[in-house]
Structure 1
Amino acid sequence: MKNIAAQMVNFDREQMRRIANNMPEQYDEKPQVQQVAQIINGVFSQLLATFPASLANR
């Protein structure tokens, strides 16, 4: 978790630097969306493997 927090701080610091120098902010949303989708799919796969009886109710 410290690594994620450090990345967020560094990203915010870079964005503030860009704003202070009248440069446009950088948005990197598309790769993040794909990464989040992969994480969520992995979590659901693990949940289905852990609780296979939940498939019977689908």
Structure 2
Amino acid sequence: MDKQHLKGAADKAKGAVKDAAGKLTGDKSLQAEGKMDKAKGEARGAVGDVKDSLKK
């Protein structure tokens, strides 16, 4: 796992927590932030995958 994969996993985890907290409290803004963080994590993971494939 490289740096991009680790950052992506951290962003996805942070986003999941924010999303869940937003759902529990009814805070649409926090929920939206969580979804954005999860999407950012997915993107970083994809960048890591591309970097891995170029190293081969």
Q: How high is the TM-score relative to the length of structure 2?
A: 0.44
Larger radius of gyration: 1
Q: Which has the higher contact order (CA 8 A, sep 6+)?
A: 2
The structure where helix makes up a greater share of residues is 2
Q: How high is the TM-score relative to the length of structure 1?
A: 0.43
